[in-house]
Amino acid sequence: MATRLFYCLSILFSQNCFSQNPFITSIYTADPSAHVWADGRLYVYPSHDIDPAKGCDLMDRYHVFSTDDMVNWRDEGEILNANQVSWGRKEGGFMWAPDCVYKNGIYYFYFPHPAGTDWNKSWKIGMATSKKPASDFKPAGYIKGLSANAMIDPCVFVDTDGKAYFYYGGGGVCHGGKLKDNMMEIDGEMQEINGLVDFHEATWVFKRNGIYYLTYADNNPRENQLRYATGSSPLGPWTYRGIYLGPTGCDTDQGSIVEFKGKWYAFYHNKALSNTGKGNLRSICVDIVNFNDDGTMQMVEQTKSGVASVGTKVISTKNAVKYEAENATMGGKATIVNDTSASGSKYVTNMDLADSYIEFKNIKAKRKGRVTINIYHSGTSYSRIKLVVNGIDCSYLNSLPTGDTENFKGHTYFTVHLSPGKNNTIKLIGVNGNTNIDYITLTPID
């Protein structure tokens, strides 16, 4: 197979000043938990709605996304799935809203997951740990001694004095308590948090100018809103302040608020990408949140344009390897078409048929590591393709329409682990929608 190396040292993207909402379009994501770590990047730890939609039971395969300018986002790849959870339900799924925290050189990833087939009565809060913020996570058991009823939506807050606090809440009840220094055990007793109006789920705690904020989703029928309260300590007492984010078009919502490079951002999810009322195919969004002089929050304006860049990003492409679609192995109705506007003056069409595919073989990797696959395409409607890497189904990708099938402006990215050697394969399978594939690039992250 012909390959071509990109030898340019770097390119300066002539990017828009704003990103877009939703800002992750390659897969469906929800429940964004945003953090800024010591490396200066902002990381978002969302849940993952599996496509095609069958409700929350299929949620699985956590991915992490990061940025250093709020416009260019990087898929850090999958960090955990239900098959790795030894104590979890044998049927898998039900990997709901997570959170992550850093303390004493370790990143702790917390996630809710049932231990038994009767999922609603067997919830636990599991943990995975790593010395890196977005890779190499290993399961580390679960927090013991908690009630199994509605034990979802974990949130962990580390105060400026280094003390850590743990929260969870579902079914209309919010609980909070202290964590021991090992970040895996509750210090004392969990307590029910009072003072919250119409609490439903999705606790998030942060601190700004000495004021503690607790945000959460309410019970607004079929369209949760996000509300908040303030307090003088991590465990209250809390004073209800009002709604800061209105309905987003989802029957549920969950958000987080974080400061990054001098601005405050509100993360949430909607259904703008899937445009479906069936199941839960949600996508994460971000907009600016402003505060009044007394510390109260202003209503967040939900936008399609997203937020402004907080820096000019120079992206290196010197390690990117390009694979032309016309050089891949094809199956089904996949067909090569000549077109001077496409890279290499050719592209592959008829990828909208379910039995059509292209397969890139003999892809070389020097060592096992994360590689971002960028798929350059054109398409109309809500076109989708399935990605399979070394025989492993990586779920469906959402190829956003580019306006017409002849306009190769779209690209969809996904990060995977390749095996050492030259026997890696990447397969793109048609699902639905009119999609044409121009080429892919592979870029190592680590």
Return d(Cα 29, Cα 24) in angstroms, integer.
8
**Active-site residue among 201, 326, 352, 438?**
201
How far apart, in Å, are the Cα atoms of 222 and each of 228, 249, 446? 19, 8, 42
Q: How far is the C-alpha of 272 from the C-alpha of 144, rounded, in Å?
A: 38
| 201 in catalytic set | yes
57 is catalytic: no
Q: Is residue 358 within 8 Å of residue 334, measured between CB atoms?
A: yes
Q: Provide the pairing of β-strand 173-179 with 164-170.
A: antiparallel
278 three-class SS: coil
Residue with tokens 């379009």: 25
- Report the side by side order of strands in the sheet with 238-245: 201-208, 211-217, 226-231, 238-245
**Phi first, then psi: what are they for 84, rounded to 5°?**
-85, -5
The backbone region for 197, taken as left when phi is positive above 0, alpha when psi lies in -120 to 50, beta otherwise, is: beta
Identity of the amino acid at 390: N
Of 168, 219, 212, 211, give the one whose Cα is nearest residue 193. 168
Which residues are catalytically annotated? 31, 201
